[in-house]
Structure 1
Amino acid sequence: MSVWDSIVGQDQAVARLRTIASGNPKAIAQSWLICGPPGSGRSNVARAFAAALESPTHGLSDEPERSSEQILAGSHPDVTVLATDKVTIGIDEVRELIETSEQTPSISPWRIIIIEDVDRMLERTTNVLLKEIEEPSPHTIWLLCAPSAQDVLPTIRSRTRIVNLTVPSTPAVANFLESRDHIEPETAERAARLAEGHIGVARLYAINERVMADRDELVAGVVNLALASDAVLLAGRLIDNAKAQAEAEVEERATEQEKEFRRINGLGEKDRIPPKLRTAFNQIGKKTELKRRATRRSRDVLDRDLNTIASIYRDAAVLQNNAEDSVGLINRENRAAIARLADRLTRQGVVDRLDSVSTARRRLNGNGNQTLLFEALFCALMV
């Protein structure tokens, strides 16, 4: 299995990185910025690139390689990944990475540092990183990930090689779901279409019936908004569903991490945790940590809900402009209801509602009161 097999819809970027990884090591840039919209797989591309750089065959072998498997699983000693559930990446975390980056790799050609969501760094934190990006240690490669180059400070941007990813097409995401998760073609197509190119969301829709049902309920609620009481009730359900989804996902992730911890340390499912490992193991299921993750994840779920709401008015605009044959609808299952909504709204009314969704997103990112935010949004969407 090639290290690139998990990358969806990024043929151009993969071809470029594959060529670089198999080229002269002395010619490889040591600071990279991998950019792509949410769900495009930028962190997966970074891991695959790291695996190709560390691989004895430069990632060209179709046979499993231990180093590649370790990197893709997050357990390779020379590849460090900083991923955060926090709103910002802390300065102490970056200083620790810099110390790691200055160490000689133990078993591989490179010491590789991957930072997901580098756009979450405050300026003073970025300044700490800047010198290392500009003059990396001789055997260190930095792979930074962000939604776009514009989301990163110019001082960082100008010192990296940029790789731009695209939004994967619906057929590409659907094929991925069918081949990797053995999803039925009809379900895979619907999940990919509703996710609008976001691979992680598409998988969630395809394998989690509750998440898909919550989305269907949200669409039905928005197209039928008529009274202020409807807006208040819908906002309440939305917040409750987001909290429940987030808590379930965080608990599931913690369980997976505990299993992986046991596997890496050679422990069986029921083996006692040795005293020297107990602190690290307990940190995985720490209540305060789980609560913090759930809070962050809940906001991510609400952001996804805003995408769903925006897709309704996008479809309404498509119908108003007779563009369905050329660009298609996202919410095809709700075509009749959205067509009625499009008839009741002017073109400017649709634009105004898309603006209201954008305003709600800014307030959500600014940690505004979530209940009041969505009550106000749904009141603004009423016809």
Structure 2
Amino acid sequence: MTVFDDLVGQERAAVVLRQAAAAGAEALAGGRGAGMTHAWLFTGPPGSGRTEAARAFAAALLCPDQGCGHCDQCHQVAVGSHPDVETVRPQGLSYSVKQTRELVLRAAGAPTLGRWRVILFEDADRATEAAANALLKAIEEPPPRTVWLLCSPAPDDMMVTIRSRCRVVTLATPSTAAVAHMLVTRENVPPDVAESAARATQGDASRARRLALDEEARRRRAAVLALPRGLTGVGACVEAAERLVKTSAEDAEEATARLNEVETAELRKVYGEGSTGKGLNKGLVRGGAGAMKELEDRQKSRATRVRRDSLDAALLDLVAFYRDVLAVQFGAAVELSTGDHRADLEALARSGTPEDTLRRIDVIMECRERLAANVNPQIAVEAMTIALWRPGIS
């Protein structure tokens, strides 16, 4: 087993990364190292494993055997403790120029263990324009042993000047069979549950894992897919919108509450809360008031992003539902990701035309655009549910 064997359905990308890791080892030995470069851009749809692929490549670069999967180097990269790998995870809606400049300074340092210094930047598309310009300068003139691994849903999400200086690794959507196999072999999920979760998430391995292991996640998805049949009038549409926004907020709260608690406790400990000695505890905690305020601001920004992402995931489930309605209307022989709601699909297919279904899909996509533009979620989703009820009047 190598570090690339854990990538789900990404055999072609794994071949490219293995070759590049070998070229990197050759460059360290004084050779040409053709095929190795200092900046990489990992792209692919949600759940394709962009971060996992970048992390595997980081391990392969730092491992003497190009990613054996069992040495100390590979293990440290996997658990996030390797001193030469810095993982950047934008917590809020964007990544600021101040944060980027600080990151660039840290990236300029020499590797601790003598091979490479790797910066793994998740969601690099969240960098602001000013931050992207600061990042561009670092990529244009990198230190000789620094490697940038940027992750983004699509190449076009990055500035063209950054994209042109990176080698792009495009990840495919894993097949249902590949995701189901992963759930069975790695998570001990029963085959029928694994198959259902893989089909429902359309190749999104991370969401499939959560859906297979979390009964509450399955319940929330079922509630979202039941929404179309409950749209029987304006009042029902408003109530459905309220439930959808509330459920997404609760999902986000559950995802962030524990992390917030741990971060706050750790920061309080750093600034002396609980320490003994006359005046020591109070003085140190007072000195950390600014840091605590900064942490709270970051947590609020992260909560906003997670709420938005949770609601967007629910809207994508609705898009999948109406796409399946369209498939039923045309009698297409395709895999239905919401096939466990077959009765609802057929009922809606009979009650409207393919044109109605396409209009409904457009309505949901428009709602996603409004939410991305910071329209009030309740207002945006209410407009969507009413238009879903009456697709010809929107």
Cα separation, 2, equivalents of 1:208 and 1:330: 18
**Quick one: which of 228, 236, 245 aligns to 2:251?**
245
Picking from 55, 76, 79, the partner of 1:47 is 55
- Residue 46 of structure 2 aligns with an amino acid whose one-letter code is P
Aligned pair partner of 1:155 in 155, 161, 168: 161
Which structure 1 residue ranges, 5 or more long, are not aligned?
266-270
Displacement, 1:375?
0.7
Contact map agreement 1:257 1:284 (CA 8 A) in 2? no
Within 5 Å, give how 1:309-324 maps onto structure 2: 309-323=318-332
Which residue of structure 2 lines up, in the alignment, with residue 268 of structure 1? none
Instruction: Please list every run of at least 4 consecutive aligned residues from structure 1 whose deviation after the TM superposition is greater than 6 angstroms.
Output: 255-259, 282-285
Aligned: 1:57 with 2:65: yes
What do the CA deviations read for 1:312-352 (whole angstroms, capped 9, x no partner)? 110111011111xx312111111111111011111111111
From 354, 361, 364, the equivalent of 1:357 is 364
Q: Which residue of 1 aligns with 2:337?
A: 330
Deviation per CA, 1:284-313: give whole Å up to 9, x if none: 995554443222111111000011110111
Give the CA RMSD over aligned residues: 2.7
Other-structure match for 2:306: 297
- Give the 3-state SS of the residue equivalent to 1:99 in structure 2: helix
Q: Which residue matches 1:71?
A: 77
Give CA deviations for 1:220-262 in whole Å, capped at 9, x if unaligned: 1213311111111111111111111111111344578799x8x
Q: Deviations over 1:122-171 (max 9, x none)?
A: 22221111122122111111111111111111111111111110111111
Give the whole-Å Cα distance in 2 for the aligned partners of 1:22 and 1:356.
48
What SS does structure 1 have at the residue aligned with 2:374? coil
Give percent identity, aligned residues only.
36
Residues 1:207 and 2:213 aligned together: yes
Partner of 1:7: 7
- Specify whether residues 314 and 203 from structure 1 end up closer, same or farther in structure 2 by C-alpha distance, changes over 3 A only: same
Task: Determine which of 168, 171, 175 is the counterpart of 2:177.
Answer: 171
Q: Secondary structure at the match of 1:112?
A: strand
Moved more, 284-293 or 367-376: 284-293
TM-score (norm 1): 0.90
Q: Which secondary structure state, in structure 2, belongs to the residue aligned with residue 22 of structure 1?
A: helix
Task: Give the AA of the match of 1:42.
Answer: R
Alpha-carbon separation, structure 1, partners of 2:115 and 2:293: 31
1:68 partner amino acid:
C
Question: Residues 117-266 of structure 1 correspond to what in structure 2 (within 5 A)?
Answer: 117-254=123-260
Q: How many residues align?
A: 370
Following the alignment from structure 2 to structure 1, what is the Cα–Cα distance between the partners of residues 263 and 15?
32
**Aligned counterpart, 1:35:** 43
Question: In 1, are the aligned partners of 2:90 and 2:126 still within 8 Å (CA)?
Answer: no
Shift of 1:22: 1.7
**Cα separation, 2, equivalents of 1:66 and 1:254:** 31
Equivalents in 2 of 1:16, 1:22: separation in Å?
Answer: 10
2:377 to 352, 370, 373: 370
TM, length-normalised to structure 2: 0.87
Q: Distance in 1 between matches of 2:244 and 2:299?
A: 21
For the 8 Å contact 1:7–1:41, the answer to whether it is kept is yes
Structure 2 unmatched runs, 5+: none
C-alpha separation in 1, matches of 2:66 and 2:229: 52
Give the superposition deviation at 1:52. 0.4
Which AA in structure 2 matches 1:41?
G
Q: Aligned AA for 1:12?
A: R
Task: Please list the CA deviations of residues 65-91 of structure 1 after superposition, one character each: whole Å capped at 9, or x if unmatched.
Answer: 212121122221111111112111110
